[in-house]
């Protein structure tokens, strides 16, 4: 654990530096879009990060619901992981929406369009912002249960976002992975894709582990305070 | 390069870092607030 505490941040910083270097100075500019295409190397990892951390949030929420009456320690840990991963997912989603918009303005000539991919992503973003607001402004085990149920329903939008470019004719470009014969990026650009995917996932894991430790500590303190209040009342 | 392309590329990378480091700062703040 001590090794992780020091090695992981060092590894993450190294990956981020390498990812930036490869994206900016190693891979060639796109033949149609030129250098603006380099936004993609930060845009794509944001969506991967979002999908992974929302999936972790789903798993943690289900775990919380299973153990909330039988195993207090496990349910607290699951709830701490749920809030940490949801926050990280929202951060990645924010980055993905903004970088996408910054790319769209010079390439499409517009900041935003209400096509299926963009709209379903915005809905997903709003669902998880609502989830975090619920957690922020309500309190107690009922809030945790409500939040866990909301997370399960909220995650139903993730497959819709993923499939939107396959189900409908959208303005958004075809998927990079598993998108069919004409999809994907120039293979010469793939090193920038892989380095930045690894770098931003390492960054996400680092921040979620840190946030998890803070959330779990706060929950233990809250539980202790509630027990003390009960003792005093009794 | 088209000046708008250059501006938007720089902006996209800057915004990414500002948001991610902002979230890190928020976690550090929560951690410090809980210690007191």
Q: Return the higher-pLDDT residue of A140 and A195.
A: A195
Q: So what's the pLDDT on residue A182?
A: 63
- pLDDT tens string B26-36: 999 999 988 76
Q: Which pLDDT band, with edges at 50, 70 and 90, does A29 fall under?
A: confident
Tell me if B20 and A105 make a contact (CB, 8 A cut-off).
Answer: no
Q: So what's the pLDDT on residue A165?
A: 78
A41: left (phi over 0), alpha (psi -120 to 50) or beta: alpha
Q: Is the dihedral of CA A158, A163, A168, A170 positive or negative?
A: positive
Tell me if A105 and B4 make a contact (CB, 8 A cut-off).
Answer: yes
Q: So what's the pLDDT on residue A217?
A: 93
- Show Cβ contacts of residue A165 under 8 Å, excluding neighbours closer than 6 positions: A116, A117, A172, A173, A174, A175, A179
Q: So what's the pLDDT on residue A175?
A: 66
Tell me if B9 and A35 make a contact (CB, 8 A cut-off).
Answer: yes
Q: Cα separation of A178 and A184, whole Å?
A: 8
pLDDT at position B5 over 80: no
Closest-CA residue of A relative to B14 is A99
User: Which residues of A are less than 8 Å from B24 in CB distance?
Assistant: 207, 210
**Minimal Cα–Cα distance from B6 to chain A, Å?**
7
Q: Span A167-189, mean pLDDT?
A: 71
Q: Span A210-226, mean pLDDT?
A: 90
Q: So what's the pLDDT on residue A181?
A: 62
> Residues of A near B (CB-CB distance < 8 A)?
20, 34-36, 38-39, 42-43, 46, 87-88, 91, 94-95, 98-99, 102-103, 105-106, 203, 207, 210-211, 213-214, 217-218, 221
DSSP symbol at A11? H
Q: Which pLDDT band, with edges at 50, 70 and 90, does A166 fall under?
A: confident
pLDDT at position A83 over 90: yes
Q: Are A61 and A148 in contact (CB under 8 A)?
A: yes
**Minimal Cα–Cα distance from B24 to chain A, Å?**
7
Q: Cα separation of A42 and A19, whole Å?
A: 9
DSSP symbol at A30? B
Q: Which pLDDT band, with edges at 50, 70 and 90, does A223 fall under?
A: confident
pLDDT at position A161 over 90: no
Tokens of A5: 């505490």
Q: So what's the pLDDT on residue A219?
A: 87
Q: So what's the pLDDT on residue A215?
A: 93
Q: To which residue do tokens 């190397």 refer?
A: A41
* Closest alpha carbon to A99 in A138, A43, A59: A43
pLDDT at position A117 over 70: yes
Q: So what's the pLDDT on residue A176?
A: 63
Q: Which pLDDT band, with edges at 50, 70 and 90, does A177 fall under?
A: low
H-helix segments, A22-70? 40-67
* Closest alpha carbon to A64 in A48, A85, A91, A93: A85
Q: So what's the pLDDT on residue A33?
A: 85
Q: Span A27-47, mean pLDDT?
A: 90
Q: Are A158 and A124 in contact (CB under 8 A)?
A: yes
Q: Are A8 and A202 in contact (CB under 8 A)?
A: yes
pLDDT at position A10 over 70: yes
Residue A24 exposed, middle or buried by CB count within 10 Å (0-12, 13-18, 19+): middle
Furthest-apart CA atoms within chain A: distance in Å: 74
Q: Span A61-76, mean pLDDT?
A: 91
Count of A–B CB contacts within 8 Å?
70
Q: Which helix (H) or strand (E) holds A19?
A: helix A2-21
The CB-side HSE value for A118 (13 A sphere, CA atoms) comes to 17
Choose the weakest-confidence range: A132-136, A182-186, B9-13: A182-186
A230: left (phi over 0), alpha (psi -120 to 50) or beta: alpha
Q: Whole-number mean pLDDT of chain A? A: 90
């Amino acid at each position: 654990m001590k090794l992780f505490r020091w090695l992981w941040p060092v590894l993450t910083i190294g990956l981020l530096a390498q990812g930036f270097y490869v994206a900016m100075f190693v891979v060639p500019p796109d033949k149609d879009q030129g250098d603006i295409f380099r936004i993609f190397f930060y845009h794509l990892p944001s969506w991967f990060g979002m999908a992974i951390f929302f999936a972790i949030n789903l798993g943690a929420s289900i775990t919380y619901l299973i153990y909330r009456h039988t195993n207090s320690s496990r349910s607290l840990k699951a709830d701490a992981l749920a809030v940490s991963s949801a926050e990280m997912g929202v951060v990645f989603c924010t980055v993905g929406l903004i970088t996408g918009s910054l790319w769209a303005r010079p390439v499409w000539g517009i900041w935003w369009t209400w096509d299926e991919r963009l709209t379903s992503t915005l809905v997903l973003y709003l669902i998880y912002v609502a989830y975090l607001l619920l957690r922020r402004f309500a309190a107690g085990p009922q809030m945790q249960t409500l939040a866990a149920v909301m997370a399960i329903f909220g995650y139903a939008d993730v497959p819709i976002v993923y499939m939107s470019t396959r189900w409908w004719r959208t303005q958004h470009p075809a998927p990079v992975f598993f998108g069919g014969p004409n999809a994907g990026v120039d293979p010469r650009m793939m090193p920038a894709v892989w380095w930045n995917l690894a770098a931003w996932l390492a960054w996400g894991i680092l921040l979620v582990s840190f946030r998890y430790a803070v959330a779990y500590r706060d929950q233990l303190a809250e539980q202790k305070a509630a027990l003390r209040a009960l003792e005093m009342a009794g | 390069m088209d000046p708008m392309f250059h501006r938007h590329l720089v902006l996209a990378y800057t915004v990414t870092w500002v948001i991610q480091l902002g979230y890190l700062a928020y976690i550090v703040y929560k951690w410090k607030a809980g210690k007191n």
